[in-house]
Structure 1
Amino acid sequence: MGIRMKKKQLILMFSSIILGTLVLSGCGKSSNNKEKSKETLEVTSKGFPIVKEETTFSMMGPNVGVAEWKDMPFFQDYAEKTGINWTFTTPPNADFSTKLNLALASGDLPDVIFAASSNNLTASMEMEYGGQGTLIPLESLIDEYMPNLSKLMDENENIRKSLTTPDGHIYSLPAIQTRSTSIWPRWPMWYNGEWLEALNVKERPKTTDEFYDLLVRMRDEDPNGNGKKDEIPLVDVQLDNSRPWLMAAFGLTELGIENMDGKAVYTPITENYKAFLEYMHKLYTEGLLDPETYSQAQEQVKAKGQNDRLGVFQDYYSYFTVGTSEADGLKHPMFAPLTSDYSEEPVVPIASGMQRSTLSITSKAESPEAIARWADYFYSEEGAFYMNFGPENSFWKFETNDEGKQVRVYTDEVNLENTEDTRGTITPAYGIAVPTIDTDWPEDYQIRTDKNQEIDTTFNDFMTSETETKIAPYGKIPFPLVYMTDEENEVIKEVKTDLSTYLEQMEAKFITGVKPLSEWYEYVETTKSMGLDKYVEVYQSALDCYNNS
């Protein structure tokens, strides 16, 4: 399941708050919203129980269909620890958005909206129902009753900024991902290490020119040793996985709106992007980029990899594509960022490490303080493990191994062929985003199939090391997680679809040569005619508010 995060990487992961649902303007703080604090319950200051007299709240959340929440050991055991019980309204995930909207519109509210996600409790809904007082502000509750989350916010101001709406309030709690893989914008690219060895490559490319030269060697020097010219130096599907890594060599971290020193820039009409297209067209026409890039599926890529035909490829784990063992995955080094005349310093985009709308408290809750304390435990390592895997003796248990050490092992009830299906009956943290941190578990937290099982973290160690050295130091946030008003979202909706469709078509045509790059000027003018100015203006307004918050 991973290894203990190093402190510097943990902080970096918290910094990687980007992309995702975009939202905002009207940057002033509102004085109309006051935080609700009825304090009808006596709430303890720390530890368990949370309340001195047992109480019950109501919760609404999406059910993924594995088990009823009332039957889950997580909720049952945590109620005993905390003194807080729940009644549940859990419509199927597919119907949750409709049911939530009805509840908010009618005023027939639960105390807590749980695991809604920004798709169901959107940023504009947060602002609307927060402004009305239906959702209560959480920032003072966080400061006073949530020391674990407060600590994370103190370590990185972007967490608080990304949760704070234009009226100055926070209306939902986040899910924060801190896994070593969380900063990847897409699957990483991997070099075929056996080909590098066959070609006697001692140092991997650092520039786009050196990368081109290596691809030529892969094409021409028979690195798979079968006597055929069947090597595919660079493979992809629709360019979706390699684009973030290769476009970054030209100084761009987002195909769309990017934050460049406080200015919102639409990158597909920049000279940097034109240079990227010229480079990719060169790779395509010289047979260095797979000619089936725009026609194949991932299954075909894997088939080529298992036939030892790929030099540079993308996958979550390298050995998934080449069809070898996990141990053999150590042979394939991770792609490191390149530089070019357009970007003298290496840079890579960093993916989002946070989701909003995992827990909101409504005006019906009579003790928001107790609910805040209830949720804060999950922002600690111990509490996050509890949220993800439930209490002892449900999904896991302690056993003493032959060395006399207590270790965690799966209980007898767990289906070892599909542990996730069993886990989904234990905790709601299955297929939905919940208020917690999702981290690489240290060895003491690893769950074993047998008490004497060796925990082999070799490949995870390798993957973390490669990420820390080749991605993390060069990461850039393309655009922060911001809020937008309904009016601004309407502008985005009005322009984005046509803009994205045209961009997708033209990129493929320029790279494959269907359209010559001599038509670049016409492409730029057509793009601008699609309402680009007001599209960029909306993002600029959102960025200004974020920076001034």
Structure 2
Amino acid sequence: MNRKKRTIQLTVISAAALSVFMAGCSSDTAKSTPAATGTAPAVSAAAEVKYPASITYWVQLNGNAGAIMKTYNEMAAYKEIEKKTGTKVEFQHPPTGQEKDQFNIMLASGSLTDVVEYNFASGTGAAAAQSPDALIKGKQILRLNELIEKYAPNLTKVLKERPEFRKMMTTDEGNIYVMPNLLGDEQLSVVNGPIFRKDWLDKLNLKVPTTIPEWETVLKAFRDKDPNGNGKQDEIPFFMNLAGDFDLNHLFVGAYGIATDFYNDNGKVKYGPIQPEYKEFLATLARWYKEGLIDKDYASIKDSKLKDNKIISNQVGAYSGFAGSGLGRYLDLAKGTNPGFSLVGAPYPKLKEGGPNPLGQYTMPFVGYGAAISAKAKNPEQIIQWLDYKYGPEGHMLINFGIEGESYKMENGYPKYTDMIMNNPDKLPMTQAMAKYFQSSWNGPFVQDKRVIEQYYTIPAQREAQKTWAQADHSKQMPSISLNADESSKTASVMNDVKTYKEEMFNKFVMNAEPIESFDKYVQTMKSMGIEEAIKVRQAALDRYLSRK
């Protein structure tokens, strides 16, 4: 195999310039540009870099990319990276919806590609069945610590200046297992929350609710006072999305100081669905469902297009979603048919006025997602250098902003998107226009730059919603703990059974098919399934995490 050699200047990004969508400079020479935040110029060091002639690379095809391309090879950033590095990448994308199965089949067969991009976290309900340590011991993937230190100067500098990243990325056995996806700015960690029809609130002279009782008052007004003005009582006060509303952002349940999964209560692991407060949460939802405040069809709506139709057709008064796809997109879709349509991000509700701050959606800077290298890869030193390219200044700009002069232009040191992104001439939605050029609007092995999201949120309501949602309590968020092989095997089947039972009983309680008085029996069933052992295992993992240096 011919190996292309190239000497480049490896410019290291200042830690203060990092963000969930990270700041960097656009030159690969020793001359660097101060970041948009006004930090000092980056430090440079020359090093010889050898990139591989070719690699095989397994990764899920993002939905926005999949709408316009068959493989990431068609993305402008990767085309340019191939020109810069000389490395030909053979991307292998599993069929949509079959990612987990295909990943497990690949592991079972031992036929991993050179690079596997996936969520390898084992302690937080992620898809990987085996822990990273187990995969390393089983000679499936490589320990990357020494490779990163020797061959990845860009990422090494990031980890030295942001030691909390290294703590999150390192397993209890001391292994770094992926080139990580990193969020380096708080702004990028909060992207989801409750949303209300502002025009409905205004029409009924109602304020944005801030407590559970205020929510109930508003939802009843939406039900009874015909805010859509068609003379019918056909409004859906609250559209409930099971995974999004609860597993993702702790809506309502967070008002009780608990989560719908494991959470960290001052160093003690607890499982929300067996706490006494969860009974109160369920009782509230059951009453709302009975009184017609929650969409009666919520459990059967799996198709996002059905949700879109209900919201755009002037039926839904409140729901929760992302600032991009759940707020900005609906505002755009409604322009032609309902010019009065307006939305506002609401704060996560407290249990009562003056009560403690509720829990809300928050994504840790590292959650286990990244690019692992197969233990059978023939040239891991070169592969790690190729992956490290995206943490350097040139690769950083490519993967976050695309091609200068096409998808962005530098204006006073700020990479501003052009109309190819903001007003695509082929009428592509912004998310697809972004995917055509770069990867930073979803996960990948790089540090995301907050200047991406600053421009993605083009509507003031999006930016205000994010600020509002960020006020929630994030202190109980579980970090990316790692379970060892024994712990994983002990609790994997337990948690599969518990999750299935929890979801089944949630619907029964909410739909009043099971009386709330059966809650204690439900908790005992959870315990008989082994939930206490699962909590104990995660407590040990959290203790190990907190003791890391």
With normalisation by structure 1, the TM-score equals: 0.72
Q: Contact 1:380/1:437 (CA < 8 Å) preserved in 2?
A: no
- 2:283 aligned with 1:291: no
Residues of 2 paired with 1:296 and 1:71: CA distance?
Answer: 34
1:437 alignment partner AA? V
| Secondary structure of residue in 2 paired with 1:130 | helix
Which of 350, 358, 366 is 1:339 aligned to? 350
1:347 CA displacement: 2.5
1:190 CA displacement: 1.0
Residues of 1 paired with 2:419 and 2:320: CA distance?
Answer: 33
Counterpart residue number, 1:436: 446
Aligned positions of 1:230-245 closer than 5 A? 230-238=234-242, 240-241=244-245, 244-245=250-251
1:518 CA displacement: 1.6
Residues of 2 paired with 1:250 and 1:305: CA distance?
Answer: 28
Counterpart residue number, 1:511: 510
1:248 CA displacement: 0.8
1:232 CA displacement: 2.5
Tell me: CA distance 1:332–1:267, structure 2 relative to 1, closer, same or farther (3 Å): same
| Secondary structure of residue in 2 paired with 1:115 | strand
Tell me: CA distance 1:147–1:410, structure 2 relative to 1, closer, same or farther (3 Å): same
The percent identity for this pair of structures is 22
Counterpart residue number, 2:227: 223
- 2:62 aligned with 1:60: no
Larger CA Rg, structure 1 vs 2: 1
Q: Contact 2:183/2:447 (CA < 8 Å) preserved in 1?
A: yes
1:217 CA displacement: 2.4
2:395 alignment partner AA? G
Q: Contact 2:199/2:341 (CA < 8 Å) preserved in 1?
A: no
Counterpart residue number, 1:416: 426
Counterpart residue number, 2:531: 532
1:256 CA displacement: 2.3
Q: Contact 1:9/1:472 (CA < 8 Å) preserved in 2?
A: no
Residues of 1 paired with 2:280 and 2:17: CA distance?
Answer: 32
Counterpart residue number, 1:356: 369
Tell me: CA distance 1:11–1:472, structure 2 relative to 1, closer, same or farther (3 Å): farther
Counterpart residue number, 2:33: none
Residues of 2 paired with 1:89 and 1:100: CA distance?
Answer: 19
1:317 alignment partner AA? G
- Residues 471-480 or 529-538, more deviating: 471-480
Which of 322, 326, 329 is 1:317 aligned to? 326
1:490 CA displacement: 1.9
Counterpart residue number, 1:194: 199
Residues of 2 paired with 1:417 and 1:13: CA distance?
Answer: 25
| Secondary structure of residue in 2 paired with 1:51 | strand
1:486 CA displacement: 2.5
1:309 CA displacement: 2.8
Tell me: CA distance 1:150–1:496, structure 2 relative to 1, closer, same or farther (3 Å): same
Counterpart residue number, 2:257: 251
Deviations 1:452-511 (A, max 9, x none): xxxx9641x431332123325533453221222222222222212221222112112222
1:546 CA displacement: 1.3
1:166 alignment partner AA? D
| Secondary structure of residue in 1 paired with 2:58 | coil
1:183 CA displacement: 3.2
Unaligned runs of 5+ in 2: 1-14, 23-42, 96-101
- 2:117 aligned with 1:115: yes
Unaligned runs of 5+ in 1: 1-6, 15-44, 447-455
| Secondary structure of residue in 1 paired with 2:48 | coil
Deviations 1:234-293 (A, max 9, x none): 12244752672111111123x122221112212111111011011112212222222232
- 2:393 aligned with 1:375: no
Counterpart residue number, 1:51: 48
Kindly tell me the number of residue pairs found equivalent between the two proteins.
481
Q: Report the RMSD for the aligned CA atoms in angstroms.
A: 4.5
Tell me: CA distance 1:335–1:130, structure 2 relative to 1, closer, same or farther (3 Å): same
Tell me: CA distance 1:8–1:310, structure 2 relative to 1, closer, same or farther (3 Å): farther
1:537 CA displacement: 1.7
Residues of 1 paired with 2:432 and 2:351: CA distance?
Answer: 47
Counterpart residue number, 1:3: none
Aligned positions of 1:174-213 closer than 5 A? 174-177=180-183, 182-184=188-190, 187-201=192-206, 203-213=207-217
Deviations 1:299-323 (A, max 9, x none): 4443333342322123433365575
Tell me: CA distance 1:422–1:285, structure 2 relative to 1, closer, same or farther (3 Å): closer
Tell me: CA distance 1:210–1:491, structure 2 relative to 1, closer, same or farther (3 Å): same
2:357 alignment partner AA? E
Q: Contact 1:138/1:169 (CA < 8 Å) preserved in 2?
A: yes
1:526 CA displacement: 1.6
Counterpart residue number, 1:27: none
Deviations 1:114-170 (A, max 9, x none): 535539995846424534777554335545665653454456544222221222121
Tell me: CA distance 1:121–1:514, structure 2 relative to 1, closer, same or farther (3 Å): closer
Tell me: CA distance 1:294–1:73, structure 2 relative to 1, closer, same or farther (3 Å): closer
Counterpart residue number, 1:449: none
1:62 alignment partner AA? W
Residues of 2 paired with 1:465 and 1:310: CA distance?
Answer: 21
| Secondary structure of residue in 2 paired with 1:501 | helix
| Secondary structure of residue in 2 paired with 1:259 | strand
| Secondary structure of residue in 1 paired with 2:180 | strand
| Secondary structure of residue in 1 paired with 2:234 | coil
- Residues 138-147 or 536-545, more deviating: 138-147
Q: Contact 1:231/1:310 (CA < 8 Å) preserved in 2?
A: yes
| Secondary structure of residue in 1 paired with 2:345 | coil
Counterpart residue number, 2:277: 272
Q: Contact 2:491/2:534 (CA < 8 Å) preserved in 1?
A: yes
With normalisation by structure 2, the TM-score equals: 0.72
Deviations 1:43-63 (A, max 9, x none): xx9577x527x6645523127
Residues of 1 paired with 2:416 and 2:75: CA distance?
Answer: 25
Counterpart residue number, 2:6: none
Tell me: CA distance 1:330–1:371, structure 2 relative to 1, closer, same or farther (3 Å): farther
| Secondary structure of residue in 2 paired with 1:61 | strand
Residues of 2 paired with 1:384 and 1:277: CA distance?
Answer: 45
Deviations 1:29-72 (A, max 9, x none): xxxxxxxxxxxxxxxx9577x527x6645523127595678887
1:210 alignment partner AA? E
Aligned positions of 1:133-148 closer than 5 A? 136-139=142-145, 142=148, 146=152, 148=154
Q: Contact 1:67/1:424 (CA < 8 Å) preserved in 2?
A: no
| Secondary structure of residue in 2 paired with 1:283 | helix
Q: Contact 1:319/1:328 (CA < 8 Å) preserved in 2?
A: no
| Secondary structure of residue in 2 paired with 1:233 | strand
